[in-house]
Amino acid sequence: MPETVEGAEVPKTKRPSDSAFKQQRLPAWQPVLTAGTVLPAFFLIGIVFIPIGVLLLISSNSITEFVYDYTHCVSDTGNQTCAEIISRSSNKGTDCECTIAFELPEDFLGKVYLYYGMTNYYQNHRRYVKSRDDDQLLGRLSSTPSSDCAPFAYIDEEEQKPIAPCGAIANSLFSDRFEMYSVTLDRKVPLLQTEIAWPSDRQIKFRNPDGDLEEALRGFSSPKAWNRPLWELDKTNKDNNGFQNEDLIVWMRTAALPTFRKLHRRIDHSQDGFQEGLSKGNYTFKVMYSYSVIEFEGTKKFILSTTSLLGGKNPFLGFAYIIVGSVCLLLGLVLLIIHVKCNKTNGGISNVHQRSSSRP
């Protein structure tokens, strides 16, 4: 080590400090995998996972569900499908109405929810997921939206009039509207538009600017693909408008997979005839069709479903537990057979110590 004079600068060194962490002297534990530890672990996982999977499957199968693909429903005013009508350039931004008659073969007991489902729709694309302005969604409006919103930041690049809410997610907001009618009861099925979004999203992530909403948004434009302003997304409930509109909040929570469903409405079970759920019988479903998906070969569905304590119908988790548990049991049996056979054929090896010597 070079000599130093008192008060002189200490020479620099790249050597790490003499600590247990940097010198890799921390105490460590390394498990020794033996038949006595591995085999019980395999059998325990199998014994625990298989019953859990069976319970999950029973819970999923107890959910009643009705699914209908309405992508190519025929218009009420002609023989063409609504998908063909709204896909024409001259009909962009217009609605097409189609009515679907269907029958529920069994009673839907308990709380019933209406979902819309989509396929081949990649909401998990990186640029799509980033295309939003969280400050805007919190009610902090600015004449300069986030750069992540481009090219959906301004309605006109020359005038520089900002869009609120900006970004690709908000611009592609699902816009189909539904009405449901019970032929058996001869009355309209009451649908609720609130309490469909996560409470954390409603209370924390989305806020409206202070004061009158329409006045606050006077210097802003609605997204290009919208046919209604932000303050009129729900004409029946003024508190369900703006950035706190629950349809918008649900849509802004992007899906991880290209096939997904999102909660759209709740059945109002306080109304006569619907206290216990939806009774079996004939129904009609009217769709105000305005959201085109045939350009990217997608499909649209509406789903009526009950729920359980674990959520909606999804047998995947139950099958996953059963398969993992069965594989662990099978591996445990195979390893147990190998262990027993090897012990019988090589029993003398266990008596040989690694430090033994043939010398006297």
Chain segment 85-110, per-residue pLDDT in tens: 888 755 556 779 999 999 999 999 99
Residue predicted with more confidence, 314 or 207: 207
d(CA 42, CA 44): 6
Residue 262 φ/ψ region, left for φ over 0, alpha for ψ in the -120 to 50 degree band, beta for the rest: beta
The CA-atom distances, in angstroms, between 150 and each of 121, 161, 170, 300, 347 are: 20, 13, 12, 27, 73
Residue 167 φ/ψ region, left for φ over 0, alpha for ψ in the -120 to 50 degree band, beta for the rest: left
d(CA 17, CA 266): 63
pLDDT of residue 349: 45
pLDDT of residue 357: 46
CB atoms within 10 A of CB 305: 19
Closest CA to 59 of 319, 322, 307: 307
Q: At what angle do helices 35-61 and 316-345 cross, to 10 degrees?
A: 160
Tokens 């014994």 sit on residue: 47
Mean pLDDT of 52-73: 93
- Which residues have a Cβ under 8 Å from the Cβ of 260 and sit 6 or more positions away? 117, 118, 121, 123
Checking if the pLDDT of 346 tops 60, the result is no
Indicate the range of 234-238, 262-266, 314-318, 346-350 predicted with least confidence.
346-350
Checking if the pLDDT of 313 tops 90, the result is no
Closest CA to 50 of 278, 248, 333, 328: 328
Tokens 């019953």 sit on residue: 51
Mean pLDDT of 323-350: 82
The CA-atom distances, in angstroms, between 16 and each of 21, 23, 26, 47, 316 are: 10, 7, 15, 49, 50
Tokens 């004939």 sit on residue: 282
Indicate the range of 12-26, 165-179, 200-214, 264-278 predicted with least confidence.
12-26
pLDDT of residue 6: 58
CB atoms within 10 A of CB 73: 20
